[in-house]
Amino acid sequence: MPGAVYQTELTPLSYLRRSAEVYPDKTAIVYGDRRYSYAEFAEAATQVARALRASGIAPGDRVAYLLPNLPEMLVAHFAVPLAGAVLVAINTRLSTDEVRYILDHSGAKLLVVDAVLAATVAPVADELAGVTEIVTVVDPAAPGSGDRIAGPDYDDFVARGTAGEPLPWAVDDELATISINYTSGTTGRPKGVMYTHRGANLNSLSEIVHSAHTPDSVYLWTLPMFHCNGWCTPWAVTAIGGTHICLREVRGDVIWRLIGEHGVTHLNGAPTVVTTIMNAPEAVTLDYQLVVTTAGAPPAPATILQMERMGFRIVHVYGLTETYGPYSVNQFQPAWAELDAEERATLQARQGVGMITAEWLRVVDENMADVAADGATMGEIVMRGNNVMKGYFDDAEGTERAFAGGWFHSGDLGVRYPDGYVELRDRAKDVVVSGGENISTVEVEQAIMSHPAVLEVAVIGVPDEKWGERPKAFVVLKSGALKSGELTSGGATAGEDELLEHVRAKIARYKAPKAIEFVEELPKTSTGKVQKFELREKEWAGEQHRIRG
C-alpha cells in the first residue's frame, strides 16, 4: 500500500532527548551552586536509569522517591521511566504509617529518600514488604543530615550506572504506566492514580500553552514534585527548553532572593504560596510579568488584583490528582480587559474550560445529563480523555465506580455559565482543602476518636488566613468537666493541647485540627446523623466559603 504511515508512541521521555540535542549547553537545572546543562541533565537521567537496572529494577517495577524539590527528584521523572519502571513520588509531609502504606500498596522495590526525611522511614525500614534497597540522598544545603538508613548513598548508587549502552528515549506502549500518584486519602486509604506516557506527554503540552512557557522560561519549583508529578511541569519545562530553579522549601525570603537572582518568569502553587509571596517582607513590585499558575482554591478577586499590581499574572487552573493536576483553565477573554477591575477579577476566579489537550468540562445531573448553563443549576463535574488517569492501581472496583457512565466523577459540584465557563460551588464530600492539600475529615475524626476520653467528634473546614481553610474539631467527651482549662474523663486528661499531640502522632501534622472546641453535644438528625452544615454556618458566618479550584 502506498503512503504507509509510521507513528511513534507518545512519551515525555522524548522531551529531554530533544532539549539535550537542541540546547546541549544551556542551563537546565539550578540548585544553589549546582548547575546542570541539558546535556548533563540527559546524562544524569541515563546514569540513574542504568543504575536502576543494575540494581535489579525490571520494566514495570515501581521505584519510590521521598524527596523535596531537589535536582535528584527532577532527574527521577526521566530516569525512572527511561529504565522502564514506574515512578512513585511520595508526599514528604506524610507520617511513617502513611508512607509505609504507599510503599507496601505500590509494591515499590527501591526507595530513594532524602537524609532529612529518613527519620520518617527509619522506624519501618526493616518491615517494608517489597523494598529491597533504600538509597539516601544527602543534601549539603539541608539543615540536618537526619537518620541514616542501611543502604548506599546516592552517589554510590549512581556509580552503578556510569557505563553501559545508550538507552532509547522511547516506549513501545504509550498507554503504559509512567507514574503512580497517591491521593490524600479523602475517603479512607489513599488511592494510587496511574498516569500514562501518553497522558503525561499531552498534559505537558497544555502546561506549556496555558502557562505561556517559552525557551526563555525560568521556572521556580514552589509546587511539590510529589503532587501530581508537579502538574507535569518537570516534563513541560524540559520540553520547551526552559530552566528549572529547584527549591527545597517554600519560604518568602528565599523565593524573593531567587526571583531577583535568576529573573524567575514562572512558578506554580496553591493560593497559600501566593499569599506567602505577597506578604513576605522582601516583596517588591516587579518591573516584568511573572506568571503564577495557581490551583487548590479559587484565588479571591482581591488577591488577583493585588498580584497584578505587583507585576504577577495569575493563571487559574482546576483539577485533581486523577486528572494529572490541571484539567481546566480560566481562559482569559480579550473583552474582559474592558471590564471594571472587580468584575474582571470575579470572572477570572472561575474554574473555566477544558485545557487544550483535554475534553470539555461537563456539569451533569444524577442521570449524566448536562445541567442548564444558567450559572445557577448545580451538578457534578465530570471529565474524560487524555488528561484523565488510566485508573487506580490494584483497585478495579474503585476505578469502575470513579468512571460510572464513562466519565470520571470528581465529586465536586459546580455550575456552568452561558459562556461555557464552569464555577465550583460545593463538594459532594466533606473534604477540607488546606494549602492545596485534600484532608479527609473522616481520617481526622478517627484519629481523635482513638483517644480514650473522646465520645464523639465532628470535623469541618474553617477559615484560615494562611491556608485558606483548616480542620476544626468539635469534641464530646465521655465524661468530665472543664476545670482550669483542662477536661478530664475517667482519670484521662483531654485538654486541647493533649488531643492535638495525640492526633499529630497518628496522622500527618498538617492534617491536625486548627483548634478543638469541646461541646456538650453535636447537632444531629432524628436518625443520629451529625448535621455538619450547622457547625459550618456558625464558623463561616461573614466569610465567602472557599472551595477547591
Single-letter amino acid, residue 143: P
Instruction: Output the pLDDT for position 144.
Output: 66
Whether 299 shows a pLDDT value over 70: the answer reads: no
| Residue 278 is assigned to a structural domain of this protein | no
Exposure class string for 216-231: b at 16+ Cβ within 10 A, else e: ebbbbbbbbbbbbbbb
Closest to 233 (Cα-Cα) out of 264, 265, 275, 268: 268
| Residue 546 is assigned to a structural domain of this protein | no
Mean pLDDT throughout 279-299?
Answer: 86
Domain holding 384: CATH number?
Answer: 2.30.38.10
Whether 483 shows a pLDDT value over 50: the answer reads: no
Q: What is the pLDDT of residues 243-254, one digit of tens each?
A: 999 999 989 999
Q: Give me the domain span that covers residue 377.
A: 359-427
Q: Which band of pLDDT confidence, cut at 50, 70 and 90, is reported for residue 525?
A: very low
Distance CA 60, CA 83 (A): 9
Helix 233-240 crosses helix 13-22 at what angle (to 10 degrees)?
A: 30
Whether 468 shows a pLDDT value over 90: the answer reads: no
Q: Do both 381 and 492 map to the same domain?
A: no
Averaged confidence pLDDT in the chain = 88
Single-letter amino acid, residue 57: I
Bridge partners (DSSP) listed for residue 383: 408
For the entire predicted model, the pTM comes to 0.81
| Residue 274 is assigned to a structural domain of this protein | no
Q: Which stretch of DSSP H or E encloses residue 277?
A: helix 271-279
Instruction: Output the pLDDT for position 15.
Output: 98
- Decide if 169 contacts 82 (C-beta within 8 A): yes
Domain holding 504: CATH number?
Answer: 3.30.300.30
Last residue of a domain, one of 184, 218, 249: 249
With a pLDDT cut of 90, the percent of the chain lying above it is 62
Q: Do both 66 and 207 map to the same domain?
A: yes
- Decide if 200 contacts 232 (C-beta within 8 A): yes
Bridge partners (DSSP) listed for residue 300: none
| Residue 475 is assigned to a structural domain of this protein | yes
How would you classify residue 374: left for phi > 0, otherwise alpha for psi between -120 and 50, otherwise beta? alpha
Bridge partners (DSSP) listed for residue 444: none
- SS3 for 526? coil
Instruction: Output the pLDDT for position 456.
Output: 83
Lowest-confidence region among 3-7, 70-74, 410-414:
3-7
Whether 386 shows a pLDDT value over 50: the answer reads: yes
Question: For the purposes of burial, counting CB atoms within 10 Å of the CB of 352, is it exposed (0-12), middle (13-18) or buried (19 or more)?
Answer: buried
Q: Which band of pLDDT confidence, cut at 50, 70 and 90, is reported for residue 485?
A: very low
* Number of domains into which the chain is organized: 3
Q: Do both 50 and 175 map to the same domain?
A: yes
Q: Do both 421 and 463 map to the same domain?
A: no
Instruction: Output the pLDDT for position 142.
Output: 86
| Residue 44 is assigned to a structural domain of this protein | yes
Q: Do both 110 and 186 map to the same domain?
A: yes
Residues in the chain: 549
Q: Do both 467 and 492 map to the same domain?
A: yes
- Decide if 112 contacts 137 (C-beta within 8 A): yes
Instruction: Output the pLDDT for position 549.
Output: 37
Whether 191 shows a pLDDT value over 50: the answer reads: yes
Q: Do both 226 and 98 map to the same domain?
A: yes
